[in-house]
A and B are shown apart, each in its own frame.
Chain A
Amino acid sequence: MRYAARVLAAVAAPLLALTLAGCGSGDESPRGGGSSPTSSVTAGGGEPKGDLTVFAAASLKKTFTQIGSRFEQDHPGTKVTFNFAGSSDLVAQLQQGAPADVFASADEKNMAKATGDSLTAAAPVDFASNTLEIAVPPGNPAKIATLADLTRPGVKVVVCAPEVPCGSAATKVETAAAIDLKPVSEEQNVTDVLGKVIAGEADAGLVYVTDVKGAGDKVEGIEFPQSSAAVNVYPIATLKGAQNKALADAFVAAVTSASGQGVLADAGFGKP
């Protein structure tokens, strides 16, 4: 048995290494699993600089990339590397020991998982919010004007499954509006919902304001008052495993700064 366990471990170790490599940020980030720290801290009170790894929710890709390049300009000698993925995937990776300095979640639930596992170094800060909007194909073929229109017979509505954040938001909105949606599909994520609206398969979908903005003219967005029932708040926090806490804190500050907030507002994010 012992022997078998050793063999298992011997084979499993390289496999695990492969898996971890796959979980990483996916570019040539020079992080070597923490054993050989490559980031450096300027001694004394100067500007912090070095390498920074940020795990951020997929919906933050555009805005954070922009904030990141500004941050690099403001902090010469700094290189920011992002890992964009679903918030729950990111938390899972952090729990498995993936090296990162900052975590920005698309919801409070996943940030709570991270703080619960003592992965964060400080209390998370809310930096943005997002609300739902009705996305319809260009020209709005089903003539949707209000949330109640989605319950009209013959209107094909696609939402996220209740298991994922955008789906639970949709459920909240549904309850607040006292309507009963009969979706033709409950998708895995916002991209799949948006894809079906763009393809014209669905007459309408419930997605975030930022998704509608991000899709450009491929969909039209229709606001509805009940969206306030499900405001999705984005928290950000420096992580305990951060190689360069000062730099990580500086990045969190950059996100919450006026400049960072401006970038987020342009993309459709609301105030936290």
Chain B
Amino acid sequence: MSLHATLRVPDRDVDVAVEVPTGRTVALLGPNGAGKSTTLAAVAGLIRPAAGEVRLGERILFCANGSSRFIPPHSRGIGLLAQDARLFPHLSVLDNVAFGPRSAGMPRGRARDRARHWLAQVDATELADRRPGALSGGQAQRVAIARALATEPHLLLLDEPLSALDVETAPSVRQLLRRVLAGRTTLLVTHDVLDAVLLADDVVVLDGGRVVEQGPTSRVLTHPRSSFAARIAGLNLVRGALDGDVVVGPEGMRVAGLVDDSSVEGMDAVAVFSPAAVGVYRVAPQGSPRTEVRATVTDLEPHGHQVRVHTAYLSADITPAALADLALTPGDEVVLTVKASEVAIYAG
């Protein structure tokens, strides 16, 4: 069943429209405070938007456009999986999973059978008799997934389901989600590019309570139009007006690159390039590359086998040897260069 949601929550300055086609997973990306959790809560019915409409298939769950309708959360047929597992501490694992079916009026025995089935689906059969307090984070999240699925929801909402897990546990739970989400209509809030790539078909990027970008995951991550999407894709993005094959960005920054066909002189465009394509110098190098930006180092951090140099607008990846050579510390003035052949310019 497909989800169509248009929501306005003035309290939190959120005004978004999100669609999830039947059987697909949409990732809701965005920085903290972008309105992701508010959107999720509004779809789940945990908060009531000031205006808009939430439709699941043909069923209107909420509308406040002239007429008014609000289906409470327990009647929406929407499952929710939060950051933390939130297993009921006073019930066994089995009864946690059986809670949904029981609430729907199923007799205890059948509800427990159903719970065992779903525990098997998440490889947690042996945990059935344990108390939630005796589970590890990963085990608890597996059980929470089984509990959410046991109600056979029409729509599954996932709110950063892996963010509370440690790095050893997250991959296996992510694999589990990948398996169980296949063919389910799912809205996934995340700030992790890996979740988006591995779990989502499409992404919607929120910033400041508005949708700033949406589309298939692969396109958004390779051709981001928003700085947030670029950042989580690990790319530099400069937005500005197109002048020939140059994007004129903030503070007169000029980035030259390869312009795609759709772009027209003078229109808004973005220049996107990898930090690995950025050269870092103490003084401007010989041969004057087309793109040369003066900047101040704000931060240095390890990034894989390299070191990422952050400045106000751009980032660069250099080798530790190069870093030692340059003897950089935050606050140093540097010159950044980018080869035009490594910069993609398209309509923003």
**A and B in direct contact, judged by CB atoms within 8 A:** no
